[in-house]
Amino acid sequence: MTDQQPLLEVKDLKKYFPIKSGVLQRTTANVKAVENVSLQVHEGETLGIVGESGCGKSTFGRSVLGLEDITDGTIEFRGDHIEGLSKRKLKEYKKDMQMIFQDPFASLNPRQRIGDALEEVFVIHSSLSKADRQKRVRELLVEVGLQEDHYNRYPHEFSGGQRQRIGIARAIALNPSLIVCDEAVSALDVSVQAQIIRLLIDLQKRYQLTYMFISHDLGVVKHMCDRVLVMYLGTMVELGSSDQIYKNPLHPYTRALLSAIPRPIPGRKKERIKLEGDLPSASNYPTGCPFHTRCPLAQEHCKTVVPEWREVEEGHFIACHEV
Amino acid sequence: MGHLLLVENLVTQYRTAGGKLPAVQGISFSVNKGETLCIVGESGCGKSATSLSIMGLLPANGEITGSIRLKGDEIVGKSEEQLQKIRGNEMSMIFQEPMTALNPVFSIGFQLREPLMIHRKLSKKEATQNSIDLLDKVGIPNPEEKLKQYPHELSGGMRQRVMIAMALACDPSLLIADEPTTALDVTIQAQIIELIDDLKEQMGMGVVFVTHDMGVVAEIADRVMVMYGGEVVEMGDVYSVFNSPQHSYTKKLLAAVPNVDDESKFWLQEATTDDGSTTSS
């Protein structure tokens, strides 16, 4: 898998949001949303990115697609550097990289028919005639499990699952190679969730899609992803194949996260690793290992020395002094 | 034997321009002292309408028939004034999003003192001392400091703890928790579930816990009530519902839970083909 050129290669990506204060609105501090994330995504794979709210997983996904101006680092898509490109130049790449959001209703105009909303994609990115565009939209609707005559309906006439199908139709309209799914199934009921995931997997097989699947739901990620990256407070904590992460989690944070998931087995009295307290604020970033404030294994040096990102077995990386 | 809460033939309807919309269609259940009943189901199944009905917090177009008795006392048909004496005192409720339930322009201390001064007629000084004890009880560090803070200064987990402290202010005998952990991260969710469970033990409350997450149900419930389309489709103790579900909907619901410990991907194949829209809309 590693022989060929990766579809996406990110190196040392940083994204800081400045905090401005005082009369002169000088930057007095930074919220470190993403801190030194480097990874490769290969053609046809599904990379899961998990972590709690505020861990920078969404900002990372948005940065990769050029929706956020990054602070530092490089992003290569098929070997081309795409960081810092102008909007016009980036437009070419955007056809190839799409995003599915958590709440598709928020990204649909309530007064625009679904057909028209989907057609807009082709108006902007293609030179198809009106008749061809409409034909293509009808095909897309069928492709994602809706009906052709849904073309003339408005967003409020659809259920949550159907709306997410519309979001997916819009994302696949231009035959992209990379789709970033940002909490794409989190707002759905479990039975609908499973259908949408099946649709995503079908489409991946049919079009050799590559997914970056951002989610806080470790259960869904497990069944969906080939490799999983665990993030904490903007940094990479552990990366490995789905099997490595779920069967042999090494980092204390990954272990705590996995043990905190409620299992549908009553009476299973919790052999749980409890994490005390809350996530520290990203504007007041801990020194050393970002996890040391809550870590059950933390030692003196964890408070001062940033742990190295190291490979513990093939394809399995962690950042921890103590494991 | 006296149930803490006894609901019989509860029907909750919403009056709309298009006629009456039934949200809850004739359900009956009970909750005992020191017991946690989980109401579980998907969006639109009537689980929240049920909890709002018990609290008497339905919107103006909501209508209840049937009987809801708390310690033998009939709640249906009580005036707003009478309900206010019960709410926060005998029973209280915590919600999914504590930020919307907390007032952003008043300090935590002000909001915590309020129920104590109204229901228990404490002086401001006594109420402040009581608030500190309450925050301490729900595991908030430096409670004196926190009293001066405003809701936006707290994290989601801390806000939910404040809400729980507020709900427990007057030692209610019934706590209704409507998806209290849904908006929280799993590590925080685990803390809050444990907190609610501990407090229930300590104070001997009855708890009605509304959730859509079967994993959470397994962790906290003594008994489970599964709802679909405003009706109860299955009710039983937590072991029998999970180990031998009788109704096909319960089976489907359990099968749809993505289990991290499970090797097979059967839940992806098993899933239903319709778009899962429940009947109530």
**DSSP per residue over A195-239, as a string?**
HHHHHHHHHHHHHT-EEEEEES-HHHHHHH-SEEEEEETTEEEEE
Question: Which residues in chain A come in under a pLDDT of 70?
Answer: 1-3, 269-271
CATH number for A269:
3.40.50.300
- Give yes or no for a contact between A12 and A72, defined as CB atoms under 8 angstroms apart: yes
CA distances, A262 to each of A120, A121, A159, A201, B258 (Å)? 42, 41, 27, 25, 11
pLDDT at B281: 31
Residue type, A267: G
Top residue of A105, A192, A230, A231 to mutate, by most chain B CBs within 10 Å, is A192
- Rounded CA-CA distance A13/A70 in Å is 7
- The CA angle A92-A221-A282, to the nearest 5 degrees, is 75
- Name the residue among A189, A260, A270 with its Cβ closest to that of B187: A260
pTM for this one? 0.84
Q: CA angle A287-A293-A296, nearest 5°? A: 130
Cβ–Cβ of B268/A198 closer than 8 Å? Answer: yes
Name the strand (E) or helix (H) holding A188.
none
Residue A128 included in any domain: no
Instruction: Select from A274, A271, A273, A228 the least CA-distant residue to A247.
Output: A228
Q: How many domains does chain A have?
A: 1
Q: What is the pLDDT along chain B (281 residues), one digit of tens a residue?
A: 579 999 999 999 999 998 899 999 999 999 999 999 999 998 889 999 999 999 999 999 999 999 999 999 999 999 999 998 898 889 999 988 887 888 999 999 999 998 899 888 999 999 999 999 999 888 888 899 889 999 988 888 889 999 999 998 888 999 999 999 888 888 888 888 999 999 999 999 999 999 999 999 999 999 999 999 999 999 999 999 999 999 999 998 888 877 777 665 545 554 444 444 333 33
- Note the pLDDT of residue B276: 42
CB nearest B259 (choices: A191, A219, A260): A219
Element of type H or E holding A263: none
The helix/strand/coil state of A252 is helix
| Residue B29 distance to chain A (closest CA, Å) | 21
Helices B156-168 and B108-119 meet at what angle, rounded to 10?
Answer: 10
Can you give the pLDDT at residue B249?
A: 93
User: Mind telling me how many Å the CA of A159 is from chain B's nearest CA?
Assistant: 7
Which pLDDT value is given to residue A316?
96
> The tokens of A76 are what?
């290569």
The whole domain housing A79 covers 8-96+174-319
A83 in a structural domain? yes
The full set of domains in chain B, from first to last, is 1-90+174-256 (3.40.50.300), 97-171 (no CATH)
Q: What single string gives the DSSP state of each residue in B48-71?
A: HHHHHHHHT---TTEEEEEEEEET
For residue B238, which residues of chain A lie inside 8 Å, CB to CB?
266-267
Fill in the DSSP letter of residue B272: -
Residues B2, B24, B97: CA angle, nearest 5 degrees: 90
- Nearest of B195, B194, B179, B220 to residue B97 by alpha carbon: B179
Q: Tokens representing A16?
A: 């800081």
Predicted pLDDT of residue B274: 43
* H runs (alpha helix) in chain B: 47-55, 80-86, 98-101, 108-119, 124-137, 143-147, 156-168, 186-203, 214-220, 238-243, 248-255, 266-270
What is the model's pLDDT at position B270? 47
Structure confidence at residue B275 (pLDDT): 43
β-strands A80-81, A72-77 pairing: antiparallel
ipTM of the prediction: 0.79
Look at residue A88 and tell me if it is in a domain: yes
B-contacting residues in A 248-267 (Cβ below 8 Å): 256-258, 260-267
Please list every residue in chain B whose beta carbon sits closer than 8 Å to the beta carbon of residue A272. 190
- In this complex, do A264 and B272 lie within 8 Å of one another by their Cβ atoms? no
Domain for residue A187, yes or no? yes
| Nearest Cα residue in chain A from B263 | A223
Query: Shortest Cα distance from B164 to chain A (angstroms)?
Result: 17
Distance between CA B173 and CA A78 in Å, rounded? 63
**Is the distance from CB of A225 to CB of A242 less than 8 angstroms?**
yes
Q: Chain B residue closest to A163 (CA)?
A: B275
Cβ atoms of A8 and A76 closer than 8 Å: yes
State how far the Cα of A274 lies from the Cα of A272, in Å rounded to an integer: 6
Chain A contact set for B260 (CB, 8 A): 218-219, 222, 246, 258, 261, 263
Burial B235-267 (b: 16+ CB within 10 A, else e): bbebeebbeebeeebbebbbbbbbbbeeeebeb
d(CA B127, CA B145): 16
pLDDT on residue A190: 83
Rounded to whole angstroms, the Cα distance separating B26 from B12 reads 8
> Could you give the CA distance from residue A182 to residue A160 in angstroms, rounded to a whole number?
16
Inter-chain touch B276–A278, beta carbons under 8 Å = no
| Min Cα separation B66/chain A (Å) | 30
Interface membership of A217 toward B (CB under 8 Å): yes
Q: Please return the burial class of A2, using the count of CB atoms within 10 Å of its CB with bins 0-12, 13-18 and 19+.
A: exposed
Cβ-in-10-Å burial (0-12, 13-18, 19+) of A277 comes to middle
Residue in chain B closest to A193 (alpha carbons) equals B256
Instruction: Say if A104 falls within a structural domain.
Output: no
